[in-house]
Structure 1
Amino acid sequence: MAMAPISKATSLVFKVHRREPELISPAKPTPRELKKLSDIDDHILVREHVHGILFYRHNHSSMINNNNSDPVQMIRKALAETLVYYYPFAGRIREGPNGKLIVDCNGEGAMFVEADTDVALDDFGQYLHPPFPCLEELLFDTEGPLGFLDSPLLLLQVTRLKCGGFVFAVTFCHLMCDAASMTFFLRTLAELTRGANAPSIPPAWDRHLLSARVPPRVTHVHHEYDDDDEHDASDTIPQVQGYFFFGPREISAVRRLVPAKIHVTTSELLTSHLWRCRTIALRPLPDAETRVMIVVNARSICSNPPLPPGYYGNVVVSPVSITTARELTERPLEFAIRLVQAAKSSVTEEYVRSLADLLGTTGPRRLKLSDTFFVSDVRRMGWDDMDFGWGPPVYAGPPEGNTGALSLFVPCKNEDGEPGFVMSVILPEPAMTRFAEQLSGLSDKGVNNKTARSSL
């Protein structure tokens, strides 16, 4: 099974000239208030920042380009206007009573960086996909670890390319929203950049809708928060990172492993297969526990009451299925598929309410990640039609195929133009070799395995 092709972009080296970062405040006065986060918002996993990146080509037919408009200036202006509607993003996270986090809507501003580079979009290759070269040049970050307390909740860098295109990079505090909810903010920003007077979907805070009930009722067992050792032995083993591409041929090869009568989505199929391959590669003891944890967007599940269309808080949950290494690796792939499907189907509205009650009662919890394949399918995140006036992006999504322990299914095309997705895993080096061998067993061409030293 072939890994994501490594194009000339991988060896591309360039520097970006950044102007001094500036804080952009709302264009009009906004309420000065303290806003509570929901209990789904505030847990350990989301006390971090998330990155996204969008590449745009110079579009001669665009109305904005015909006016020789500068994307930096237009997006900067639209950002100030967008923050009028999404004014909590101009505030700061503070610690409130009993350690509960709140948003101080003080209008201090989001951070914006103007930048230029002497490379063109074509220098990145014909079909863009993670990993991107010199990513640290395109994504602005503050010096040292970016904390979430008293720091900007949103950072944007717009980098002009010498071809007339540009790169739009966003870093946002996960406590404020998930990637799907960030779509609402970005869509408003794009609409106002194109000249709209107001968002097509008004934003809604309403975090009380996903806060603990009174009294709380924890009605489900939430294995995602099982007790875990903070110092996993694997933390001391050097890790490597591998990127793998899955196109029509690779997916068809995996489908042939299950009976035709089995109804399974591509995401379920690949999650199940990769979970088995990863477990085989790690060589755990036969009776050792192995887990799969998947990210589920629960927005459509919440109906009593329903979430407003413009609700932009965290609405993702991470259900788990558990078995033993022997069961997973010795039984047919259909067994793993049933476990993945069971994890997905376990997410009901009561499951979400129970989770809010658990987190509201115990406070922030740490996810159990040891012995766990943690995966998220971001192929339908909604960023691929984000038009700032230069047409849709050439690439829009995560800048990497994983975020720490979380592996992402990122949509892209390979060098032949075939649609598919790229995914990254981080494993000890011997396990990575075995993982690649497991995948190559399904392909006549074998695996073109390239790994990169992890910075973990």
Structure 2
Amino acid sequence: MEITVHSSKAVKPEPDYGGHSDGNASVAVVPLSVFDKVNYDEYIFYVYAFHPPAPPNAVLEAALAKALAEYREWAGRLGVEASGNPAIVLNDAGARFVEATADAEFGGSTVALLSTGGKVLSRLYPSCDGVEELLLVQVTRFRCASLVLGFTMHHKVADGPGMWNFMVAWGQATRGVAIDPVPVHDRTSSLFARRRERDSRVKFEHRGAEFKVKPRGEGPPASDGVGAVVRADDEVVVVHRVHFSREWITELKSRASQGAPSRQYTTLQCVAAHLWRCITEARGLHGREATRIRIAVNGRARMVRPPVPEGYTGSVVLWAWPATTVRELLDRPLRYAVELISREVARIDDAYFRSFVDFAGSGAVEKEQLVPTADAAEVPLCTDIDVDCLLAIPFHKLNFGCGPPFYFRPGYGHAPVAGAIYVLRSFQGDGSVDAYVPLFRRTMDAFKKCCHSFPMTTTTGARL
């Protein structure tokens, strides 16, 4: 399949559009919040496909300018404010708008080609190599008139929900309807400010969680720029889409609840625990080795004093790191892993978020020269896995006048990172779930053999 790029241009915010400004339009910079600062300094990639008839490119471009007028951050550039703190410069330099065509139908063969996450997929969203734009979008028309939108978005500007709100706003502007939710841009309000000294309570340890000591001496390991650490003996990472039917998930949740009949576990908790076990087994790790699963926790649903506005445009994410040993993970029942995940995610509550804000604003980060643990150059997940949950994303709300997307695919920049998993609801609409699982090729065959198998255990938890 050949993809031909026909044009690439900067789209700037439409002047005088909107009316939803919250006083931010005249501000030269938006200082990054404490949550923005600990987020990954990298780009995120998404691909959506829509059935015809789709609006012309000129309509999409004009609507993008209107959406950027409401979300000026995405038309800005990363920089610093007068005090030297990191910020988004609201210079309206624009987002990149790329127009392309594909000489193929968007059917089963195309989906199969994209499923491996190779070079063809990467040509459906703009490259982030050497760019300054914080948002780059590519509009690709297929021979069957299907429309594919590829997004390249910088993670310092927003977390997943913040990115999603912008994409929905672009669709709303295309359809000529009011943008909802109304964007809230203020990242320096009391929402994320350290509490007064007498009220400040750092109740949790944030060193080693969100922050680490800045490495001294040798630089970071060589990286391909998107988190996959390069080694001389490194193997190719391949991506496998695992489809879990609604019936299979029901059975998995039932097995996870054995011994705890009054406890209801979520789909994410059970699927994440199952994938953690399967990948660990497929990797053939030593029993005494430590293994962790990293799960993003959305503060929008956790912070309550005060709550985070629905339309907040920045990041409000911290992470849970359930950990155990390989032997404990594999020799004990599935419920053990599910409980680990459930307990650690529940621990990242309003008190934990507030403790993080107080610690980040205490001066300790600067004094101790701490840096974020979310370092894209240091995530070779050799013993760990990372789960990005998209189960709550309301894909039906993304509408450019041709209905919701019928296909979604996460992108991976130059190369996927082994163990960095996306979990989302299947577009079949029947309650099933898809998981995109990148692993080293040497591990993938073993993973495929066990990913649909239910764990068999004795009453004592030893694996049979």
**One-letter amino acid matched to 1:278:** I
In the TM superposition, residue 93 of structure 1 has moved relative to its aligned partner by 0.4
Deviations 1:194-242 (A, max 9, x none): 123x423221112122354455643213453475995599863425324
In the alignment, structure 1 segments of 5+ residues that lack a partner are: 1-12, 60-64, 444-456
In the TM superposition, residue 434 of structure 1 has moved relative to its aligned partner by 3.0
CA–CA separation in structure 1 for the residues paired with 2:172 and 2:95: 18
**One-letter amino acid matched to 1:200:** D
How many percent identity over aligned positions?
26
> Using a 3 Å threshold, how does the CA distance of structure 1 residues 119 and 345 change in structure 2: closer, same or farther?
same
Q: Secondary structure at the match of 2:35?
A: coil
In the TM superposition, residue 103 of structure 1 has moved relative to its aligned partner by 1.0
> Using a 3 Å threshold, how does the CA distance of structure 1 residues 76 and 226 change in structure 2: closer, same or farther?
closer
Which segment drifts farther, 203-212 or 360-369?
360-369
Deviations 1:280-311 (A, max 9, x none): 23333333222122112120221212222211
CA–CA separation in structure 2 for the residues paired with 1:403 and 1:419: 27
Which segment drifts farther, 394-403 or 364-373?
394-403
> Using a 3 Å threshold, how does the CA distance of structure 1 residues 84 and 418 change in structure 2: closer, same or farther?
closer
Number of the residue aligned with 2:373? 366
1:36 partnered with 2:16: no
Number of the residue aligned with 2:423? 409
CA–CA separation in structure 2 for the residues paired with 1:73 and 1:286: 58
Q: CA RMSD in A?
A: 3.2
In the TM superposition, residue 17 of structure 1 has moved relative to its aligned partner by 3.0
In the TM superposition, residue 349 of structure 1 has moved relative to its aligned partner by 1.1
**One-letter amino acid matched to 1:307:** V
Deviations 1:299-346 (A, max 9, x none): 022121222221111122211122222222211111111101011111
In the TM superposition, residue 358 of structure 1 has moved relative to its aligned partner by 3.9
Deviations 1:133-177 (A, max 9, x none): 7112211124x355xxxx111111111222222111111111111
Identify which of 190, 206, 224 aligns with 2:209: 224
In the TM superposition, residue 270 of structure 1 has moved relative to its aligned partner by 1.2
> Using a 3 Å threshold, how does the CA distance of structure 1 residues 385 and 290 change in structure 2: closer, same or farther?
same
> Using a 3 Å threshold, how does the CA distance of structure 1 residues 185 and 440 change in structure 2: closer, same or farther?
closer
CA–CA separation in structure 1 for the residues paired with 2:44 and 2:310: 23
CA–CA separation in structure 2 for the residues paired with 1:203 and 1:154: 17
**Whose relative contact order is higher, 1 or 2, with alpha carbons under 8 Å and at least 6 apart?**
1
TM-score by length of 1: 0.80
In the TM superposition, residue 413 of structure 1 has moved relative to its aligned partner by 5.0
CA–CA separation in structure 1 for the residues paired with 2:83 and 2:448: 47
> Using a 3 Å threshold, how does the CA distance of structure 1 residues 98 and 338 change in structure 2: closer, same or farther?
farther
Deviations 1:423-449 (A, max 9, x none): 233444443333333325449xxxxxx
**One-letter amino acid matched to 2:13:** P
1:207 partnered with 2:187: yes
Deviations 1:236-273 (A, max 9, x none): 34253241222234424534533451421121111112
1:294 partnered with 2:295: yes
TM-score by length of 2: 0.79
Q: Counterparts in 2 of 1:190-201, with a 5 A limit?
A: 190-196=171-177, 198-201=178-181
In the TM superposition, residue 31 of structure 1 has moved relative to its aligned partner by 2.6
1:383 partnered with 2:360: no
Number of the residue aligned with 1:49? 43
Number of the residue aligned with 1:18? 6
Query: How many residues end up aligned between the 2 structures?
Result: 412
Q: Counterparts in 2 of 1:33-432, with a 5 A limit?
A: 33-43=28-38, 45-59=39-53, 69-70=55-56, 72-96=57-81, 100-122=85-107, 130-131=115-116, 134-142=120-128, 144=129, 146=131, 151-196=132-177, 198-208=178-188, 209-213=191-195, 215=197, 217-222=201-206, 224-225=209-210, 231=221, 236=231, 237-243=234-240, 244-255=242-253, 257-260=255-258, 261=261, 262-360=263-361, 361-362=364-365, 364-367=371-374, 369=379, 371-396=383-408, 398-399=410-411, 404=417, 405-413=419-427, 420-432=432-444
Number of the residue aligned with 2:458? none
